[in-house]
Amino acid sequence: MRRLPPVLLEDGCPRDLISLIRTILAACKEISFRVSQGALSGVLGSTLDENIQGETQKKLDVLSNQLLKDILLESGYVKAIASEEEEGTVAGNPEADYIVAFDPLDGSSNTDINSLVGTIFSVMRVPKEADASDPAIFLQKGEQQVAAGYVLYGPSTMLALTTGKGTRLFTLDRTHGSFLLTQDFASVPAQTQEFAINASNQRHWQAPMQQYIADLLAGKSGPRGKNFNMRWIAAMVGDVHRVLCRGGLFTYPADTKNPDKPYKLRLLYEANPMAMLIEQAGGLASTGEQRIMEIEPQQIHQRVAVILGSKDEVETCLSYHQ
């Protein structure tokens, strides 16, 4: 097993990008510790506040956001940051070359039941002359990401990372505090018999997704001619990790439950980084209408439908939407 920096240097990854990624991981190691302490450190439960998304904040949401925000802005490596927990962007070093968008604690509702949660991040480059206080610098297509990843806080703390040359998996070795490479070049199998979806929203889905899931549930006697298993962790980071490890399809489709918010997942700091990780591992990522990483963002908290995972199964799902 190799430590993180040598692996990135072998890929020709710029040293300043390596330093930025190491800064993100320093915060994630602290978040991992706080999550693992749970009730012992009094960080479980909700605050009395809502974030910009209209969601009740968990104590660990606030703590995780502050840790990432402070360490990134103090590092000098970022021109600005954007977070799920911040209404707008926050300016950093005007001379820096990178911006970072992140979901500080995806699946935070799982913290109270000791289930999977994680941090998702996206790194993009910006010109030095760009205005650090202008949110428009974040409105870049996912194709322009220079790095993307997540840190999963589970039985072990794991990092999935891509800098555009494949997706690698690392595990945090707590004996000396480094992320060690444990899977070089993850590969998502093209075919699968496993899918993940929030089935409680079934009655609100659009007709193509209704029919697709119905055909999966019909099993061997249905039009697909094989049985499928459904899995749902209620944290995108956990469901996508399963897809990276053994294949599958993950989707959070459009629904009519709330006409003002037909989509659940945020483009910049959830859909785009996960799409890059999946595509770099041989999978596909789409909204049902277009490739996720080709979307031109209109705002930093923009939401989109997500269908990603095993190539053949995603293509089958998309055929229902055509």
Query: What digits encode the pLDDT tens for the residues 255-308?
Result: 999 888 999 999 999 999 999 999 999 999 999 999 999 999 999 999 999 999
Binding site residues for substrate, as ranges?
106-109, 198, 264
Q: Are 277 and 240 in contact (CB under 8 A)?
A: yes
- Band (9; pLDDT cuts 50, 70, 90): low
- Angle 36-41-44 from CA coordinates, rounded to 5°: 75
Q: What CA dihedral angle connects 187, 243, 272 and 179, to 10 degrees?
A: -70
State the average pLDDT over residues 230-237: 96
Could you tell me if residue 164 is left (phi over 0), alpha (psi between -120 and 50 degrees) or otherwise beta?
left
Binding site residues, as ranges?
84, 103, 105-109, 198, 264, 270
Domains of the chain: 4-183 (3.30.540.10), 194-321 (3.40.190.80)
Q: Are 106 and 87 in contact (CB under 8 A)?
A: no
Q: From the centroid of its chain, how far is CA 149?
A: 7
Binding site residues for Mg(2+), as ranges?
84, 103, 105-106, 270
Q: Which of 22, 107, 101, 120 lies closest to 60, judged by CA?
A: 107
Query: What digits encode the pLDDT tens for the residues 128-167?
Result: 899 999 999 999 999 999 999 999 999 999 999 999 999 9
Q: What is the pLDDT of residue 52?
A: 61
Query: What digits encode the pLDDT tens for the residues 168-192?
Result: 999 999 998 999 999 999 999 999 9
Q: What is the 3-state secondary structure (H, E, C) of 113-181?
A: HCCCEEEEEEEEECCCCCCCCCHHHHCCCHHHEEEEEEEEECCCEEEEEECCCCEEEEEEECCCCEEEE
Query: What digits encode the pLDDT tens for the residues 35-84?
Result: 999 888 777 777 756 666 666 678 899 999 999 999 999 999 999 999 99
